Amino acid sequence: MTTADGSVETYRALFGDTPFTVVSNREPYVPRVDDFGTVSWSHPAGGLTAALDPVMQAMGGTWIAWGSQPTGSPRGRAAASPLPTRLQAPPGADRNTYEVRRVRLTENEVRHYYHGYANESLWPLCHNLLEHVRFRDRFWKAYGDVNGKFAAAVLEQAPDERTLIWLHDYHLALAPELIRRRRPASLIAHFWHIPWPAWDTFRVCPNHRQLLEGLLANDLLAFHLESFVDNFIRCCEQDLDALVDPRKRAVIHRGHVTTLRALPISIDAESMRHLASSPDTDVRVTELRARFGLAGRRVGIGVDRLDYSKGILERIDALRILFTRHPELVGTFTFIQVGAPSRTEIPAYAELQRRVQAAVERLNRSFERPDWQPILYIPNGASPPELAAFYRIADVAIVSSLQDGMNLVAKEFVAAQVEGTGVLCLSEFAGAAEEFDQALIVNPFYVEGFAEDIRRALSMDPAEKRERMRRMQDRLEEGNVYRWIADFFEAAREALDLGHSRPHGEDPRSAPTPRVEVPPRAAAVPPRE
């Protein structure tokens, strides 16, 4: 199993002492204030920042991110002094190991760049959910301005040209080009965490060409799945005067080579297993069973950010059909839905929250009994230890995304199944379905079939359940999030080598980008475990 130190070793073997900078919208530690204005910093929910943090701690360097306003007490917020633009991480530790550069955004920028272009234009576009897409000129303008702020922070923060810059996600599609324009020899790699849509969808975006050109300033651009790479290549072929090398999975545009790779993300499965099998979790499991009246009943679980792409309403609909068609499950099967509120400033998300709440209430009214409710809804999220206990309790977990880059909940559930008795019902439209062919693969758009799949999960033979879970756990063992980080470094190194080795004149339309010398590979890359 690769560890955080293992990813750092890979980096050193490939890049020597090349400085390292991470750039993401979300900061690795988010601020919260109490009533007295005292600020505390903690990891946001979601696995990636927590996984990259120990790598940064071992490696040093800079993490550039939007410096968000603190949550918590309104009174405390008024009393708190302005937050710093630079933070030594981990905050409050005896030994600080890396720096967080917090990019300040105005309220208007947050509204139009983050809520607007990133989450009302690009997010639904890339998830092929066009009914939610809104394009506004003010969104695009703010997106460009904020990408400019991030690029300026990178250029200021990384005076050494040899710095490897690792950008994350759909918030920063224009930053690579803005960096490269000012510093042509930069080493830039980017991971796109959400799907890349087909050309027929992507062309709906009025800014399609600028987005592609922004991203083609990267040396490496990686997605979770090969199908997303294929879609991206097809968009470049259709939209740009670019040379595509499908064999090398590379696009040459304006003399610059961008290598494209599929690198499916994973989780820190060992930590999840450890947490799920701890004595504290045993206690929590017993408490939850008692608190929610689960003794003698079968249990289903759903854990999601409250996002329309996660198929939560379709799931509730399937449950309604399940209880209608299989009355023997009334009173004997309880579904727990944990929902973490998300992007609530956006009307579509506020509406989804209301609709989920209403759908749960309707279903509960139809089927409830004095001592039982079909759905227990936990609308304000749960802590990581609580999540581990829910994953352990569940006979079935449902991930019903309408479209999803990967879906880490599916992986967390598999890792937490220490008894191996749970079944995963997994949408065929979640990236995780490519790895977990032993899940019960469901189509959330066909709710009657989906309902039958849940029933099948609940009546599956225990030996079959164990065998399926064992095979998914074996698959998860093949690589954790630290292996993924190391794989990303290897792909970045290959991309830089490919960019260097391209014979001049391969693209007759322009001269190749000048390159800085990356230090030669220092040592053998640590072997894959």
Residue with tokens 């999803």: 404
Which range, of 12-20, 290-298, 402-410, 498-506, touches ligand GDG by CB under 6 A?
Answer: 402-410
Please identify which residue in 58, 125, 375, 408 interacts with ligand GDG, judged by CB under 6 A. Answer: 408
Residue with tokens 């590379």: 250
User: Bridge-partner residues for 333, per DSSP?
Assistant: 298
Q: Which amino acid is at 54?
A: P
Please identify which residue in 405, 422, 479, 499 interacts with ligand GDG, judged by CB under 6 A. Answer: 405
Strand-pair category, 298-305 with 396-399: parallel
Q: Which two tokens stand for residue 40?
A: 């505390």
Count residues binding ligand GDG (CB under 6 A): 23
193 binding ligand GDG? (CB under 6 A): yes
Please identify which residue in 407, 417, 438, 480 interacts with ligand GDG, judged by CB under 6 A. Answer: 407
Under rule CB under 6 A, which residues in 255-274 are in contact with ligand GDG?
Answer: 265
Contact 57/87 with Cβ under 8 angstroms? no
Please identify which residue in 276, 316, 406, 485 interacts with ligand GDG, judged by CB under 6 A. Answer: 406
| Rounded CA separation 260/310 (Å) | 27
Contact 217/182 with Cβ under 8 angstroms? no
Number of other CB atoms surrounding residue 197 within 10 Å: 22
What are the residue ranges of helices labelled H in 341-461? Answer: 347-367, 384-393, 408-416, 447-458
Q: Which is nearer to ligand GDG, 194 or 212 (CB)?
A: 194
**Helix, strand, or coil (residue 169):** coil
Please identify which residue in 110, 240, 382, 516 interacts with ligand GDG, judged by CB under 6 A. Answer: 382
| Rounded CA separation 364/362 (Å) | 5
Q: Which two tokens stand for residue 301?
A: 């679980």
Under rule CB under 6 A, which residues in 33-62 are in contact with ligand GDG?
Answer: 45-48
Taking alpha carbons only, the member of 63, 61, 65 closest to residue 149 is: 65
The DSSP output letter for 116 is I
Please identify which residue in 52, 375, 409, 469 interacts with ligand GDG, judged by CB under 6 A. Answer: 409
92 binding ligand GDG? (CB under 6 A): no
338 binding ligand GDG? (CB under 6 A): yes
Closest approach, Cβ 198 to ligand GDG, in A, equals 17
Q: What is the DSSP string of 435-473?
A: T-TTSEEE-TTSHHHHHHHHHHHHT--HHHHHHHHHHHH
305 binding ligand GDG? (CB under 6 A): yes
Q: Which two tokens stand for residue 261?
A: 């790779």
Closest approach, Cβ 344 to ligand GDG, in A, equals 14
129 binding ligand GDG? (CB under 6 A): no
Closest approach, Cβ 455 to ligand GDG, in A, equals 25
Which range, of 243-251, 326-334, 406-414, 470-478, touches ligand GDG by CB under 6 A?
Answer: 406-414
Please identify which residue in 340, 350, 516, 525 interacts with ligand GDG, judged by CB under 6 A. Answer: 340
Q: Which is nearer to ligand GDG, 80 or 485 (CB)?
A: 485
Closest approach, Cβ 404 to ligand GDG, in A, equals 4
Provide the binding-site residues for ligand GDG, judged by CB under 6 A: 45-48, 193-194, 265, 303, 305, 338, 340, 381-384, 387, 404-409, 412
